[in-house]
Amino acid sequence: MQRILLLLTLLIILTCSFTAVAHAQTQSEYVAIAFNDKLVHFPDAMPEVVKGVTYLPVRFFAEAMGARVEYNAANETVRIDSGSQHVLIDIPHKKITTADGVTTSFPLFMKKNRLMVPFRFIGETFGYDVSYTPHGPIARAKDSRARLTDEEVYSANKQIILAEKAKLPDKIAYVTFDDGPNQYTAQILDTLARYEAKATFFMLKGGIDNYPAQVKRMAQSGHGLALHGVTHNASQIYASPWAVVNEMEACNAALTRVTGLRTNMVRVPYGSKPWMTQSYRDALVNAGYRMWDWTVDSYDSRSINPHPDDIVQEVADQTAGQTAPVILLHDRQATLEALPRILQHLQQKKYELRPLQGSMKPHNFWNDRR
C-alpha cells in the first residue's frame, strides 16, 4: 500500500511539473543559440523565450560546450560536468545545484521529451560570457576563443535562422466555451485532444458541481479554467456589484472543491456591456478578478437550433486578419458538430491554439485591462 502511495505521489509530482508549460511555440518566442562562433543545432525541441528568459534543451547545449551529461533515472536528476564545474539538475523539484552547493529554483519544463533549462544560468555557471542580440534573436555563450562579433554571427547564419523561424506559427487563437460543463463537454474535450488544441472554459457553478470529472480532465489537459457565475440571469447577477462578485466567488469555490485550484478569469453572462459599469468593474477587480469578453462571436447561442456550417463560417470570417482572436463558443450540440472544422480551419491558417492565462491582461468591451 505504501509503495502504491509513493508511486502515486511521484506520478502526481511528475504530471504537475510537466503539464504546466507544455505548448507549441510561436515566432515571437523563437531564439537561436550560438556557442562561440557557431550556431548550436537542436534536432527536435527548439530553444524558446518564456517570459523574457531563454530556455534550451540542456543536452545539446552541454554537448556544444564539450561537457559530459549524465541522467539518473532513479531520482530524475541530470548532472553536467565540464572542467572543475558541475551542476546537478533536480527535475521533479525544478532545482539546480552548482558545485559550490548553491541551489536555485527555476520553472524547468519538458518539451518533446527534452529537459528545458535557463540558458544564461547554465552558460554563466560554466564561465562563459552570455550575450543577447535582437537580430535573430540570438543568445550566445562565448569565451576567448570567439572570433566573430554577435552581429557577424547573425550575418553568417541569417538564412538558417530565418528558415527555422518561418516554421513556427505567428498567430495564437484563444478558443473559449461558455455555459458548461454539461452533457456535451466530454466530447468537446475529446475533439480538442484529437487536434492537440487547448481552450478555455468559462463555467457555471451548477455545471462544475454536476460534471466534476470533466472539470478535472480540463485541468489535467492544460485547458484554461474560468468562471461564468451561478444564475446566468441578468436581473440577479447584475443586481449590484456585490452580486457579480458573490456569484464568481461561489463559482470559484466550486472549482476549488473539484480541482484544488482557483482562477482569476471571469466572463460575465451576455458579455460585459452594458451592465459592467465602472463600479461593477471596480468591485470585480478589487476581488482579484480579470474580466474577459471576446473578439469573435460564433453566434452559436443566438438561435435555438443554429446550423454547424454557419458557426464555422462566422468563426472563419471574423477571425480573418486577427493575430490573437478570442473566440466565443458554447458547450452545445451544434458547436460540438462544428468544432472539428473550426479547429482545422484555425490550424490551416497557422493559429496556435492556446488557453487564456490568469497572467494575461484581459480583453473586454470596456478596454479595462486591469
Active site residues: 178, 330
Which span (69-77, 170-178, 274-282, 350-358) binds Zn ion, by CB under 5 A? 170-178
Sign (positive or negative) of CA dihedral 287, 220, 330, 186: negative
Alpha-carbon distance 180 to 301, whole Å? 13
Q: For Zn ion, give the closer residue by CB, 331 or 352.
A: 331
Examine residue 269 and tell whether it contacts Zn ion (CB under 5 A): yes
In this chain, which of 150, 178, 352, 368 binds Zn ion, going by CB under 5 A?
A: 178
Cell triple for 254: 466550486
Give least dist CB 178 to Zn ion, A: 4
Alpha-carbon distance 69 to 55, whole Å? 17
Alpha-carbon distance 104 to 98, whole Å? 9
Give least dist CB 301 to Zn ion, A: 7
In this chain, which of 179, 247, 293, 368 binds Zn ion, going by CB under 5 A?
A: 179
Q: For Zn ion, give the closer residue by CB, 159 or 235.
A: 235
Give least dist CB 232 to Zn ion, A: 6
Cell triple for 197: 488544441
Q: For Zn ion, give the closer residue by CB, 47 or 207.
A: 207
Q: For Zn ion, give the closer residue by CB, 39 or 328.
A: 328
Give least dist CB 268 to Zn ion, A: 9
Examine residue 331 and tell whether it contacts Zn ion (CB under 5 A): no
Give least dist CB 239 to Zn ion, A: 17
Alpha-carbon distance 180 to 298, whole Å? 16
Q: Do β-strands 351-353 and 171-178 pair in parallel, antiparallel, or remain unpaired?
A: parallel
- How many residues make contact with Zn ion (CB under 5 A)? 3
Which residue, judged by CB position, is nearest to Zn ion in the bound state?
178
Examine residue 180 and tell whether it contacts Zn ion (CB under 5 A): no
Binding track over 229-268 against Zn ion, x by CB under 5 A? ----------------------------------------
Q: For Zn ion, give the closer residue by CB, 172 or 327.
A: 327
Q: For Zn ion, give the closer residue by CB, 157 or 185.
A: 185
Which span (25-33, 174-182, 256-264, 313-321) binds Zn ion, by CB under 5 A? 174-182
- Residues of this chain that interact with Zn ion (CB under 5 A) are 178-179, 269
